[in-house]
């Protein structure tokens, strides 16, 4: 880098200081300020809590956990779909100094056993069943393999009522004594990030990590006690429990749960019925909502903002979200579980180009830089390299895995994201792909995101994912997996190639096209590109 070139480094400044609270302490202040405002609504069951009622319910569950022998630092697992009890467990475990372990509701027995053992979960709170999963049967299947697990409690079952009934008035003094010992730097949450190789890693997050991240994400979209936040995203991810729950409770806003898992119609019904001001989702969720045959019949006039994250947003989708869903202040967030999660975010007054062409700029109190993936040297602005982030959000480490932690966080406490990014002259960051997703065709670097964004403009393409597949001559070739707008009239390879040929460099033009009904997805709504590569790379 020349001495005069501006480096790809940015530090987020701001007039609002970081919070020094524990999660329980922060909630107590919100309850005191807004006791009569609604805190939590479960649309499916019709249950609702004011902040005073929510605070009391959390307090009761915290005392029940103490009576159940949960000690400071013990791991309490939560293996459940979205429901009020999930939220209560989140705040009650924080109050007693336990570490809540988020378990993916889609896990089967093998994955469940791994997480229970790796984290040393002693108490598990689980749903009874969801879709094809019988959680009780799966727990019984692995119980003998998990020596640390001493009790399982099922939501909606007599065992949940029995747990809550253990709370006694005398437990209040014990709870106060426990809370007096807690530090905001204590671990409070373990979230397992799915690796493409090997077992998932348990990102360990502190009160300070996730409370501040939720708070500042909410600050960027101007949350107040007047806001009502619709959360169709899974709570077991940071998107739901940090950007959703903690952003809401740190501002006195209301959490609205539309359904146990994502349902586009249930989501829009919840927005209409509860007069939600904010709606969250990954782009595929917004696409599903906009695609409902009766979409125009929903009254979404209460919306003003929301968050889209998880994967890049196509320009045409963002235009419709702003115009047809009334979300003029919708925000794009970028991050990863290991950074609690958000590092960059678009601002309320950003234009369409910034909201669709970038993932925003650095949050207050956070640093980001783009480095050469090999040398680690910070690159000039405008050049693609690995995005790294540093600050209050960087995890404590991977649970009980110091070697894997050292691979991700360097000696300077920079978290290496594995994402390829470009920092523009204005400080806004553009994600151009994953280092591992980058296609190297005949020595040329090809970024799938660029081709995907281009193909979204094709009139026959509703959605598209681009992956690299093996090729004897070039090493890798470009494959476009397409979902057509009209299944009866899908685009042909010739049409896709002709559309690209005059406007993209020859090495970026897809050499194959596969037409699909749907993409393989994770339960959190991200496309499994690795599965597409495996399926079509043979």
The pLDDT tens digits for 419-433 are 999 999 999 999 988
Q: 484 and 412, same structural domain?
A: no
In a domain, 427, yes or no: no
**What are the structure tokens assigned to 484, written together?**
């057509």
Closest C-alpha to 356, from 319, 307, 310: 319
Q: Are 70 and 76 in contact (CB under 8 A)?
A: yes
In a domain, 3, yes or no: no
Q: 474 and 368, same structural domain?
A: no
**pLDDT confidence of residue 158:** 98
**pLDDT confidence of residue 1:** 62
What is the CATH classification number for the domain harbouring 209?
3.40.50.12780
What is the CATH classification number for the domain harbouring 449?
3.30.300.30
User: What is the tally of structural domains in the chain?
Assistant: 2
Q: Are 209 and 340 in contact (CB under 8 A)?
A: yes
CA distance 61 to 175: 11
Helix, strand or coil, per DSSP, at residue 85: helix
In a domain, 529, yes or no: yes
CA distance 232 to 240: 8
Closest C-alpha to 337, from 191, 525, 189, 231: 191
Q: 482 and 373, same structural domain?
A: no
**pLDDT confidence of residue 174:** 97
**pLDDT confidence of residue 437:** 83
Sequence-ordered strand ranges (E) for 383-460: 384-391, 397-398, 415-423, 429-434, 439-441, 444-446
Q: 468 and 322, same structural domain?
A: no
In a domain, 10, yes or no: no
Strand order in the sheet with 366-371: 9-11, 366-371, 384-391, 415-423, 429-434
Burial 188-223 (b: 16+ CB within 10 A, else e): bbbbbeeeeeeebbbbbbbbbbbbbbbbbbbbbbeb
CA distance 320 to 450: 21
Domain closes at, from 422, 449, 464: 422
CA distance 293 to 280: 21
DSSP β-bridge partners for residue 440: 445
Sequence-ordered strand ranges (E) for 207-365: 228-230, 254-257, 278-281, 305-308, 331-335, 342-345, 361-362
Pick out the chain residues at pLDDT < 50. 196-197
Domain closes at, from 364, 388, 422: 422
Q: 193 and 59, same structural domain?
A: yes
Q: 474 and 412, same structural domain?
A: no
Helix, strand or coil, per DSSP, at residue 84: helix
pTM for the whole thing?
0.88
Burial class of residue 386, CB neighbours in 10 A (0-12, 13-18, 19+): buried
Q: 376 and 254, same structural domain?
A: yes
Helix, strand or coil, per DSSP, at residue 76: strand
From residue 185, give the alpha-carbon distance in Å to each of 80, 97, 136, 411, 475: 26, 11, 34, 20, 47
For residue 504, the enclosing domain spans: 437-536
In a domain, 17, yes or no: no
Domain closes at, from 388, 422, 456: 422
In a domain, 14, yes or no: no
CA distance 398 to 202: 5
**pLDDT confidence of residue 196:** 41
Q: 316 and 235, same structural domain?
A: yes
Q: 135 and 76, same structural domain?
A: yes
Reported as a single tens digit per residue, the pLDDT across 358-401 is 999 999 999 999 999 889 999 999 999 999 999 999 999 999 99
Q: 75 and 217, same structural domain?
A: yes
CA distance 254 to 30: 11
DSSP β-bridge partners for residue 204: 190, 397
In a domain, 428, yes or no: no
Q: 443 and 328, same structural domain?
A: no
In a domain, 95, yes or no: yes
Q: 300 and 217, same structural domain?
A: yes
| Alpha carbons within 13 A on the beta-carbon side of 360 | 26
CA distance 403 to 88: 34
């Amino acid at each position: 880098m020349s001495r005069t070139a501006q480096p790809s480094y940015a530090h987020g400044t701001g007039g609002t200081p970081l919070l020094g609270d524990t999660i329980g302490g922060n909630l107590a202040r919100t309850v005191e300020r807004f006791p009569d405002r609604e805190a939590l609504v479960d649309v499916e069951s019709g249950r609702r809590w004011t902040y005073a009622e929510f605070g009391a319910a959390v307090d009761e569950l915290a005392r029940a956990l103490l009576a159940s022998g949960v000690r400071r630092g013990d791991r309490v697992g939560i293996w459940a779909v979205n429901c009020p009890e999930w939220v209560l467990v989140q705040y009650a475990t924080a109050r007693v100094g336990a570490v809540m372990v988020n378990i993916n509701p889609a896990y089967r027995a093998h994955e469940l056993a791994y997480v229970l053992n790796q984290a040393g979960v002693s108490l598990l709170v689980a749903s009874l069943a969801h879709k094809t999963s019988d959680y009780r049967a799966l727990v019984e299947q692995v119980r003998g393999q998990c020596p640390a697990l001493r009790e399982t409690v099922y939501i909606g079952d007599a065992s949940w009522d029995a747990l809550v009934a253990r709370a006694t008035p005398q437990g209040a003094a014990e709870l106060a004594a426990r809370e007096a010992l807690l530090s905001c730097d204590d671990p409070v949450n373990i979230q397992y990030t799915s690796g493409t190789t090997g077992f998932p890693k348990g990102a360990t997050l502190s009160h300070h990590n996730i409370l501040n991240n939720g708070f500042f994400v909410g600050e960027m979209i101007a949350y107040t006690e007047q806001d009502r936040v619709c959360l169709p995203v899974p709570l077991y991810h940071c998107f739901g429990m940090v950007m959703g729950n903690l952003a809401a409770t740190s501002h006195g806003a209301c959490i609205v749960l539309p359904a146990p898992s994502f349902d586009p119609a249930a989501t829009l019904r919840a927005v209409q019925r509860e007069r939600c001001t904010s709606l969250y989702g990954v782009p595929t969720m917004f696409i599903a909502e906009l695609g409902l045959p009766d979409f125009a019949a929903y009254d979404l006039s209460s919306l003003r903002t929301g968050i889209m994250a998880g994967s890049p947003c196509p320009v045409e989708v963002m235009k419709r979200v702003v115009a047809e869903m009334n979300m003029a202040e919708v925000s794009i967030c970028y991050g990863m579980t290991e950074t609690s999660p958000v590092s960059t975010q678009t601002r309320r007054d950003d234009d369409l180009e910034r909201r669709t062409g970038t993932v925003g700029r650095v949050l207050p109190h956070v640093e980001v830089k783009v480095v050469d993936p090999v040398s680690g040297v910070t690159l000039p602005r405008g050049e693609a390299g690995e995005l790294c982030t540093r600050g209050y959000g960087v995890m404590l480490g991977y649970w009980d895995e110091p070697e894997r932690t050292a691979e991700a966080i360097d000696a300077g406490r920079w978290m290496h994201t594995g994402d390829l990014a470009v920092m523009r002259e204005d400080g806004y960051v553009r994600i151009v792909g994953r280092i591992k997703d980058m296609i190297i065709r005949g020595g040329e670097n090809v970024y799938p995101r660029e081709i995907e964004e281009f193909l979204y403009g094709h009139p026959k393409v509703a959605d598209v994912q681009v992956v690299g597949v093996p090729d004897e001559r070039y090493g890798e070739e470009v494959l476009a997996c397409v979902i057509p707008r009209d299944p009866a009239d899908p685009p042909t390879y010739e049409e896709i190639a002709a559309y690209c040929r005059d406007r993209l460099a020859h090495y970026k033009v897809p050499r194959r096209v596969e037409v699909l009904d749907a993409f393989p997805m994770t339960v959190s709504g991200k496309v499994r590109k690795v599965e597409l590569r495996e399926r079509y790379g043979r």
